[in-house]
Structure formats: C-alpha cells, structure tokens
C-alpha cells in the first residue's frame, strides 16, 4: 500500500478507497409512517392530515384522548397515502 493510502486510512475511522469494489453499499432503512383517525368530542369522524412516526403517533393519540376524542386508531400508511375518516 502506498504512503498516501496509509495516511488516508490513519486519518479516517472508516477506510477510504477510490476502488468501487471496496466501497460499501449503505444499508437500506425501512421507515413506517402512521396516520391517526378517530372521532372528535362532537362525534365527527376525523383523520390527521399528516403522517407520524410510531412514537409521535402514540404521543398524539394520548393528546387526543385527553381532549375527549374517542375511537382513536393508529394506522400504518404508505408514503404519500392519506387516511379517510370512514371506518
């Protein structure tokens, strides 16, 4: 290995290479989005106009329950998909 490659490897925690065969492929990340639907305190079916990650959806469900909303559901949605208030 030439001196330049040795210096490059010493400075970087991960090996640096210009050889395409040595470059690692990034791992695929799977992200699931969730929508929320339920009934507001006046009995009107509602859906969230945005999607949430799972932790945020659970937090929002807790908030809606505190606001006296009923039948709150957390539903997985595909990217770009919106829920409809109908059950």
**Is residue 77 a contact partner of residue 33, using CB atoms and an 8 Å limit?**
yes
Question: Phi/psi at 33 (nearest 5 deg)?
Answer: -105, 155
pLDDT digits (tens, 9 = 90+) for 48-87: 989 999 999 999 999 999 999 999 999 999 888 888 766 5
Burial of 34 (0-12, 13-18, 19+ CB in 10 A): buried
Task: Say what the pLDDT of residue 3 is.
Answer: 57
Q: How far apart are CA 4 and CA 15, in angstroms?
A: 12
pLDDT digits (tens, 9 = 90+) for 18-37: 666 666 667 777 788 999 99
pTM of the predicted model as reported, rounded to 2 decimal places: 0.63
């Amino acid at each position: 290995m030439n001196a330049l490659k040795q210096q490059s490897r010493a400075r970087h925690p991960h090996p640096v290479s210009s050889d395409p065969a040595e470059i690692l492929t990034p791992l695929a990340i799977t992200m699931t989005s969730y929508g929320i639907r339920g009934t507001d305190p006046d009995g009107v079916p509602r859906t969230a106009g945005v999607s949430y990650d799972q932790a945020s959806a659970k937090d929002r469900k807790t908030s809606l329950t505190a606001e006296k909303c009923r039948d709150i559901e957390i539903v997985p949605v595909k990217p770009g998909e919106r829920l409809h208030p109908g059950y």
